[in-house]
Amino acid sequence: MIFSVYLIDDEMHAVEELRTHIPWQQYGMQVIGFHTSPSEALKEVVRLRPNAVFSDMKMPGMDGAEFARELLKALPETEIVIVSAWSEFEYVRAALREGCFDYLLKPLRETEYAPTLERLHQCLQSKVAHLQEFRNENPIMQEIQNYLRLHLQEKISLGDLSEHFHLSQNAICSYFNRYLQTTFVSYLTSLRMKEAQTLLLHTQLNIKEIAARSGYDDYFYFCRVFQRTFHCTPTQLRMNAEKDQKELQDEMDT
């Protein structure tokens, strides 16, 4: 796979040297654009969305670290390599602090740029693989979430999901952690508590019936989980909501 590269340097001869000196195709890359103005380059990079950007450090109007900061706000997946004649540690630190992939010194030598380009190519390949994996797995995660919403009243275990979706329990746990940053149990509890809250506020069902419809056949356990979640009992939540509604109605009437 060929990855796209964009070049930025305020001196045109430096851009040309960078463009022609490095055998980009040898590293699976292709230069798709360049500019001598960092502010104009920023606009063009956002439009072209290259995989990687090679930028000078000291440029008028916007230095390389500032450029990196602004670009990564718009395109956080872009990799940025600084190419500079300035070797002072403060410049290197500023670039790396902004999330740049690497810092190369001019004049470029193959012994220095080759390892960076090889690592960059591996990094970009890894990103593509992860993106493809995400596209394959994300619909599965959505199906799991929909399934849980439709079966809230039932007893649902990790084993049930594993059997229904033909996935290992470890894989399902990994999906919850990766895509929702939570666990299966925490997510299911959150869904059930939101359902209980909705039923309390918008129906006249008694608490025991609400517990059952939220997936809890143990009324007392339901109340403990509810209080831990909302810091009040189901009855208190309903009474407080009714009180607030009455006060609001009284204000409107006056």
> What is the rounded CA–CA span in Å between residue 227 and residue 125?
48
Residue-number span of the structural domain to which 246 is assigned: 151-254
Residues 157-166, mean pLDDT to the nearest whole number: 95
Q: What is the mean pLDDT of the chain?
A: 92
Looking at the DSSP bridge assignments, the partners of residue 52 are 5, 79
Residues 191 and 253 in one domain: yes
- Name the pLDDT band for 248 (thresholds 50, 70, 90): confident
Long-range contacts of 90-97 (CB under 8 A, 24+ apart): 91/57, 91/58, 91/65, 94/65, 95/57, 95/64, 95/65, 95/68, 97/65
Residues 55 and 91 in one domain: yes
Is 138 within a domain?
no
In this predicted structure, the answer to whether residue 254 has a pLDDT above a threshold of 70 is no
Provide the domain count of the chain.
Answer: 2
Is 91 within a domain?
yes
Q: What is the pLDDT of residue 249?
A: 77
User: Which residue from 190, 156, 208 is spatially nearest to 200, judged by alpha carbons?
Assistant: 208
User: Which residue from 185, 172, 169 is spatially nearest to 141, judged by alpha carbons?
Assistant: 172
Is 136 within a domain?
no
**CATH assignment at residue 246:** 1.10.10.60
**169: phi > 0 → left, psi -120 to 50 → alpha, else beta; which?**
alpha
pLDDT tens, position by position, 122-136: 999 999 988 888 878
Percent of the chain scored above 90 by pLDDT?
Answer: 79
pLDDT tens, position by position, 30-75: 999 999 999 999 999 999 999 999 999 989 989 889 999 999 999 9
> What is the rounded CA–CA span in Å between residue 165 and residue 158?
11
